[in-house]
Amino acid sequence: MGILRMSNADEVTMRLVHYFVTKENYQPIVVNGLENEIWLENCDKHYEVIRINSNYIHNNEQLDFDLFKAKTIIKQIKKKMLSMRCTTLNILLNVGDNVSSFESKYKNMEVVALDSGKSLDENEKITSIFPEIKEDKIDSSDDMDFFINVTQDINESTEKKNKLYEKIFKKKPIIVTYALIAINIFVYMLEILGIVSISDFATSSYAIRSNHFWVLLTSAFLHADIIHIFCNMYSLYVLGTQIETVLGKVKFLIVYFISAIVGALLSGLLTGGASVGASGAIFGLLGALLYFGYHYRLYLGNVISNQIIPVILLNLFIGFMLPGVDNFGHIGGLIGGVLAAMIVGVKEKSNKTDRINGVVILTIVVAFLYYMIVR
């Protein structure tokens, strides 16, 4: 069996990848057609993209071309990440003496050139940015042991993340969505039988000013006709099964009811007449899906840009074109869904500050709408 001999540059590269993947939760980006480059991404970090380049750069002109090539790739990554900007750290490991300047002419791109003759801990240019990198020690007796341990740590970290994401996206038993559909159908049957009157439970500015606050929720279970309830229940079935899977039953209900309330308030303020239907709450599910998808945009970026956003825009457009559609209720529900998703949080992504901000903004929105209705 041959003995593995690693160069100092190879060791630095592996330590960098080990630190960023296992400690900073970066994930590899697959970029076809490149050699001796490693691209990593983490949307939640200051440097959303890190590029580790071990190709030899011998002068300023080659560096300019290298950064131009990197900028072209970053444009593609930005589309995937749904980001207007993408702060990138370029780490160069093999730079010649003829390179005199490492200033990047591109916005949001920083360049750090490491001394390939020094160990990673001795390269102050990188340790000043990531001080904790010095604490990322890897036990090894020789180069082969070092290689095996680094590879094993990276694989274990990646496998752990994959299992977590599988758990989040794994299809779960759907109960709440089906229960809401059954309740809506049951209430509609009561409407047909004349037991429930729409006028008593519909949302309107008059009902809200009369302190009939229950209409903010009851209106979401009423429907004007068979086509109305069929379209809404089909939409609830399609969206509800997805949102209930990723959020869970309790969070799903919170999003649904908050969306219904905000939608009813905006409808009461701007529509004038009575309004009924579950579409405000359903638009809230779209808002929650949009918020969730943005936090997992590395996986769902194409779904957001190619499916969720077009569906929202198309439905709003149809609503404005057709008479009798409560678009303000839809818009209010959409806003409520985003804010409710902020409050309940996205697993492994949201923090306490996000949730507090969601509560504060929702409180302001609800108070403002109510004030504008009753003033």
More confident residue, 371 or 301: 371
* More confident: 257 or 64: 257
Q: How far apart are CA 247 and CA 135, in angstroms?
A: 36
pLDDT score recorded for residue 1: 45
What's the average model confidence in pLDDT over 15-24? Answer: 90
Positive or negative torsion for Cα 137, 141, 144, 145: negative
What's the pLDDT tens digit per position in 180-216? Answer: 999 999 999 999 999 998 888 999 999 999 999 999 9
**Contact in structure between 114 and 100 (CB atoms under 8 Å):** no
Q: pLDDT value at position 294?
A: 85
Residue holding tokens 């970066």? 26
Query: Which residues, in sequence order, are bridge partners of residue 90?
Result: 51, 111
User: What does pLDDT average to over the chain?
Assistant: 88
pLDDT beyond 50 at 248: yes
Whether the pLDDT of residue 260 is over 60: the answer is yes
Quick one: pLDDT at residue 3?
A: 62
Fold of 172-374: Rhomboid-like fold (1.20.1540)
Neighbouring C-beta atoms of residue 140, cutoff 10 Å: 14
At 165-181, the pLDDT tens digits run 788 778 889 999 999 99
pLDDT of residue 117: 76
Q: Mind listing the pLDDT tens digit for each residue in 261-281?
A: 999 999 999 987 889 999 999
In DSSP terms, 256 is beta-bridged to none
Average pLDDT over residues 314-330: 84
Cβ proximity of 262 and 336 under 8 Å: yes
Residue spans of the domains in the chain: they are 8-168, 172-374
| CB-based contact 91:37 (threshold 8 Å) | no
pLDDT tens digits, residue range 111-160? 988 887 788 888 888 888 899 988 888 777 777 888 888 888 888 888 88
Confidence at 371, pLDDT banded by 50, 70, 90: very high
Q: Does residue 219 surpass a pLDDT of 90? A: yes
The predicted model gives 102-110 an average pLDDT of 82
State how far Cα 230 lies from the chain centre.
30
The DSSP code for 203 is B
Please state the rounded mean pLDDT for residues 73-78: 84
Residues counted in the chain? 375
Mean predicted confidence (pLDDT) in 340-360: 90
By DSSP bridging, strand 109-113 and strand 88-92 are parallel
Looking at 271-344, list the stretches that DSSP marks H as alpha helix, in order from N- to C-terminal side: 279-295, 297-303, 309-321, 327-344
Amino acid residing at 42: N
- Residue 285's Cα: distance from chain center in Å? 14
